[in-house]
Amino acid sequence: MDKFIYVIFSIVLVYIIIIIFSLLKILKKKSIKKVILFDVISFIILLGIMCICYYSYNIPTIKLRGDKIVKINVFDNYVDAGYDVINSSKNMKVTVENNVDSDKVGIYDVEYTIKHFNKEIKEVRKVQVVDEEKPTIKLLGETVITLGIDSKYNESGYTASDNYDGDITKKVKVTDNIKNEIGKYEVIYTVEDSSGNVFSTKRIINKINDNNGVIYLTFDDGPSSATSKILDILKENNVKATFFIVNYSKWYEDVVKRIVDEGHTIALHSYTHNYKLIYSSEEAYFDDLLKLKSKVKETTGIDANIIRFPGGSSNTVSKFNKGIMTKLVKKVKEEGFHYFDWNVDSKDAGGAKDSNDVYSNDMNNLNKNRNNVVLIHDLGHNIKTINALTSIIKDSKSKGYTFSKITYDTPMVVHGVNN
């Protein structure tokens, strides 16, 4: 507006000069008609110039607050920073057209429009909706696996998800540098979402000379009042084990969680441990197994896929249903489970009279040339096992044995099927 005032002042000054000039003409007795005509024409011209200047210097403009190019994350609400109208002597209406879809990646326009006489004056803000969050990959199974030099690596699986694309498991690319040599190897999992965000994680594979001389302590039939004492001993001796559990009350939920929290393997034995019921049919067996699997998942979040048949796969208590074990050992593997029997029996559920018997049954049957899967029972009254456990661990270590927990990649130790 200041410039407009200066221009008007100049025009008025020019017109005053013209009037003075006209008066001088009249005093010199020039034609009054010509002077008046000249003044009228000058006035019209100056008035036109004044109108043009007024229009030019009073064209309103829209000044955007904030940035003209704005970036927001997908799914975030877009909040406009607003605007100001410049060079307007009255409150002019501004039409705002906002087509931003924050649920979809893209570039959108927010248009601001005002009408000045018959002309539309526009300003545009660009809004970029972007996805800059990386996807994630969840590895199933163990992230560190130890294999014998001649053992084949079997992929445990994975899932991938993205905040924008959802399930993108099919986009995961898996590469590895595994060789049939002693060493440390990596399996690399990489996924890229539709916005170009890349995430990568890895699984470590340790290839050792052999996987023999390893002891897998396995505890059946828990949790019980003895479980916490067993866990204390394992923790004190830095040993990981495998617990094949049965159904449990809410009083033992914290114990089951502790098994997982302290790095042990939670595995499935039976919900009922009722031979007549579970071996009556394939359907009955899986109803029992999956009921326990669902309960463990609810308690721990673990999707357990390692099992032990009640009585072992070689049991004869199922002979009332001829051929049921032959069917089940095949079916559980088809359903994605790995089952384990044992090759060392502590006989703590029958046969062993005291802790010395438990100790002897375990120590006398260990073998450096194999994986030793030791059957122990997690029963509340099984004091002889608790009393023998520390000595079994310490003396086995002194003889050069190592301890490990069963994972999905552990080679299965199984009996011959007798039914």
What tokens does 320 get? 């009332």
Residues 401 and 237: beta-carbon distance below 8 Å = no
**What is the full per-residue pLDDT of the chain (419 aa) written as tens digits?**
455 566 666 666 666 776 666 666 666 665 667 666 766 776 777 666 666 666 665 678 889 999 999 999 999 999 999 998 887 656 778 899 999 999 999 999 999 998 877 788 899 999 999 999 999 999 987 787 777 776 778 888 899 999 999 999 999 999 999 988 888 899 999 999 999 999 999 998 888 766 568 999 999 999 999 999 999 999 999 999 999 999 999 999 999 999 999 999 999 999 999 999 999 999 999 999 999 999 999 999 999 999 999 999 999 999 999 999 999 999 999 999 999 999 999 999 888 999 999 999 999 999 887 889 999 999 988 899 999 999 999 999 988 899 999 998 888 899 999 98
Q: What's the gap between Cα 99 and its chain centre?
A: 31
Length of the chain in residues, anyone? 419
Burial class (CB in 10 A: 0-12, 13-18, 19+), 238: exposed
Q: 221: phi > 0 → left, psi -120 to 50 → alpha, else beta; which? A: left
Pairing between strand 119-130 and 69-73?
parallel
Is this structure's pTM higher than 0.85? Answer: no
